[in-house]
């Protein structure tokens, strides 16, 4: 094997796969990437057995071939080479690789390509999803995924493809984020559900980047496939039954409040300073035209904030985890939000007002204060 690529092209692809590489793997080959040179193309594959990325770049191939190299070591070498330089790699005997670039020369230990895990063949595409839509849906739901590894079926987000609509839902049992968009999916006449692991969602965002390109989505019994141009991400399906999220969304909340997103968020941040570190709760008291936020801690003191809001009705007190509210405020993308409540013991429903064509709903369970 012998090929030449530009440093910048190679660096872009190596940067893309770094998140998949196992840093402390007990299986040495998983710290390596598979390099396959053929025709006028270099294909790069990285996997941790749960997530696999295949990508590549144009190359001048003198001798076709395949090998595996340490992903971190090759990345560190290439990123320190001069901008715009050419990089030449040659496979030597006894699984060594020689790298030349300008005045730089390296000899790197490789591992046999036969040890590298096989990559599942892609399934036919189920749907074509605009990249910016998929990225926005991930951003608006991923923060609600549980941090508890033991709650396996909640360690990812649910992607639901319906005739005429696409949805993404995530929950940790204390709050739920749901985003939906009306979209016709040709050939789809039944709902298709897929649980996507958190790590896969992170890598999908990197795969899309700031491109406004289409992502082809497909699945088989055990794997999910996301293809964007010549790049493909393969993920294991997250096992388990996602809860019936429709039952969590409140239908009878009849008290509606409209607040400035910035004012609401700033008041929460200031009040939360005095919240009890164990309880992590602040009190929201809604009165005609105003919202009073309070928090207290026996060891620290107390805080009180007044925020003008649009609200008419009987007084209502409710407690929330301030961090949960701030997660929504930071990503909702609108100048104003609406809060729908029933009483102090029923979950609240928060939605952005304008700012996007997405149907975005955020459900938060109340807390005692």
Ordered DSSP codes for 221-246 = SSEEEEEETTEEEEEEPPPSPPP-GG
Q: Which CATH number fits domain 2-115: 3.10.150.10, 3.40.50.1000, 3.40.50.1370, 3.20.20.80?
A: 3.10.150.10
pLDDT confidence band for 165 (50 / 70 / 90)? very high
pLDDT in tens, 256-310: 999 999 999 999 999 999 998 888 899 999 999 999 999 998 888 999 999 999 9
CATH of region 128-245: 3.10.150.10
pLDDT in tens, 56-65: 999 999 999 9
Architecture of domain 255-364: Roll (3.10)
Contact 324, 272 (CB under 8 A): no
pLDDT of residue 355: 75
Residue partners of 336: CB distance under 8 A and separation at least 6: 258, 259, 260, 261, 352, 353, 354
pLDDT confidence band for 357 (50 / 70 / 90)? confident
Question: 169 is written with which tokens?
Answer: 């839902």
Residue indicated by tokens 């340490």 = 70
What is the mean pLDDT of the segment spanning 216-229?
93
Greatest Cα pair distance, the chain, in angstroms, is 81
Count the neighbouring beta carbons within 10 Å of the beta carbon of residue 42. Answer: 24
Q: Provide the CA 6 distance to its chain's centre, in angstroms.
A: 30
* Choice between 322 and 185, residue whose per-residue pLDDT is larger: 322
Residue 151 has pLDDT above 80, yes or no: no
The values of phi and psi at residue 52, to 5°, are -130, 135
3-class secondary structure, 199? helix
Residue indicated by tokens 């989505």 = 217
The values of phi and psi at residue 71, to 5°, are -65, -45
Tell me how long the chain is.
Answer: 369
Contact 216, 227 (CB under 8 A): yes
- In the chain, where the domains are located: 2-115, 128-245, 255-364
Contact 61, 37 (CB under 8 A): yes
Question: 153 is written with which tokens?
Answer: 């079926």
Q: Answer yes or no: same fold for 128-245 and 255-364.
A: yes
Residue 82 has pLDDT above 80, yes or no: yes
pLDDT in tens, 191-205: 999 999 999 999 999
Contact 233, 52 (CB under 8 A): yes
Helices (H) and strands (E) in the chain, counts: 6, 25
């Amino acid at each position: 094997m012998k090929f030449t690529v530009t440093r910048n092209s190679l660096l872009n692809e190596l940067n893309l796969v770094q998140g998949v590489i196992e840093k402390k793997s007990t299986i040495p080959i998983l710290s390596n990437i598979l390099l396959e040179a053929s025709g006028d193309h270099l294909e790069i594959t990285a996997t941790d057995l749960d997530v696999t990325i295949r990508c590549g770049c144009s190359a001048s191939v003198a001798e076709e071939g395949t090998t595996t190299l340490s992903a971190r070591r090759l990345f560190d070498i290439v990123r320190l080479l001069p901008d715009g330089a050419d990089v030449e790699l040659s496979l030597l005997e006894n699984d060594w690789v020689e790298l030349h670039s300008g005045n730089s020369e390296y000899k790197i230990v490789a591992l046999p390509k036969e040890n590298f895990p096989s990559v599942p063949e892609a399934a036919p595409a189920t749907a074509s999803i605009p990249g910016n839509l998929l990225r926005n849906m991930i951003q608006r739901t991923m923060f609600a995924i549980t941090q508890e590894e033991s709650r396996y079926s909640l360690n990812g987000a649910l992607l639901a493809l319906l005739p005429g609509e696409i949805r993404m839902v995530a929950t940790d049992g204390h709050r739920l984020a749901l985003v939906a968009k009306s979209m016709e999916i040709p050939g789809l006449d039944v709902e298709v559900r897929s649980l996507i692991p958190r790590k896969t969602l992170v890598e999908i965002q990197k795969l899309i980047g700031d491109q406004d390109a289409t992502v082809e989505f497909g699945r088989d019994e055990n794997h999910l496939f996301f293809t964007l141009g010549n790049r493909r991400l393969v993920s294991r399906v997250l096992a388990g039954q996602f809860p019936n999220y429709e039952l969590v969304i409140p239908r009878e909340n009849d008290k509606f409040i409209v607040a400035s997103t910035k004012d609401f968020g700033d008041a929460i941040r200031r009040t939360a300073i005095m919240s009890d570190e164990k309880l992590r709760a602040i009190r929201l008291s809604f009165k005609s035209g105003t919202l009073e936020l309070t928090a207290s801690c026996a060891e620290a003191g107390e805080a009180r904030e007044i925020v003008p809001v649009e609200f008419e009705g009987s007084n209502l007190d409710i407690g929330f985890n301030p961090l949960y509210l701030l997660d929504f405020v930071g990503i909702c993308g609108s100048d104003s939000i609406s809060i729908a409540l029933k009483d102090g013991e029923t979950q609240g429903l928060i939605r952005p007002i304008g700012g996007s064509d997405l149907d975005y709903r955020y459900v938060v369970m109340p807390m005692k204060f």
